[in-house]
Amino acid sequence: MQRKSFATMECPIARSLEETGDGWTLLILRNALLGARRFQDFQARLGIAPNTLTRRLERLVELGFFTRQRYAARPPREEYELTAKGLDFVPVLLALAAWGNRWVMREAVAIECMDPRSGHKVEPVLVDRRTRRELVAGAVGLRAGPRASRQLRQALKRGVVLGAKRQPEVAR
């Protein structure tokens, strides 16, 4: 994909996409969370070209999503183990999956979340940790964080609400 690099932007979405923003990368993370650990597991499950898979895995190791663990000495063989950073991607993929079930799969839902202890169906919703209010369009604002640039701080000064009807647009 040709595009400007997002790496220097201040937005955490843009910065996260720099690391994860291609379909294969997200599907590799998905399969790792489902238990895939070896090159051939990913390759067989995803039907991805080996050289593409090699590049994506290398990059995910560099970025700290995986560490390599040797599981055989001769010939040397390694598994890809998710780090805390990789494991913490679960809520992102589940939020995407829940949206996908609502708006893409609709009546054709093939996979749903469940509580592994009770077996009950689980419906993922994003809430504020403290107040437990649901974070949906019109009910979440953005503000400058501790390390915002002066320019960004200025742009966010009046506050911005995500998905609000008719509001002055913010610069990013």
96 to 125, contacts with a second copy by CB under 8 A?
96-105, 107-116, 119-125
Q: Which of 40, 54, 94, 157 is in the footprint of a second copy by CB under 8 A? A: 94
Please, which residue, 57 or 82, has the CB nearer to a second copy? 82
Q: Which of residues 16-55 bind a second copy (CB under 8 A)?
A: 16-24, 26-27, 30-31, 33-37, 41, 45, 47-48, 52
Q: Which of residues 70-89 bind a second copy (CB under 8 A)?
A: 82, 85, 87-89
Task: Determine the Cα–Cα distance for residues 65 and 91; give it in Å rounded to an integer.
Answer: 15
Cα Rg, the chain, nearest whole Å:
20
Please, which residue, 57 or 101, has the CB nearer to a second copy? 101
Please, which residue, 74 or 132, has the CB nearer to a second copy? 132
**Interaxial angle between packed helices 90-100 and 23-33, expressed in degrees from 0 to 180 and rounded to the nearest 10:** 110
Q: Which of residues 125-154 bind a second copy (CB under 8 A)?
A: 125-133, 135-149, 152
> Three-state SS for 72?
strand
> Three-state SS for 63?
coil
- 27, burial (CB in 10 Å: exposed 0-12, middle 13-18, buried 19+): middle
DSSP state of 167: -
Size of the site for a second copy (CB under 8 A): 110
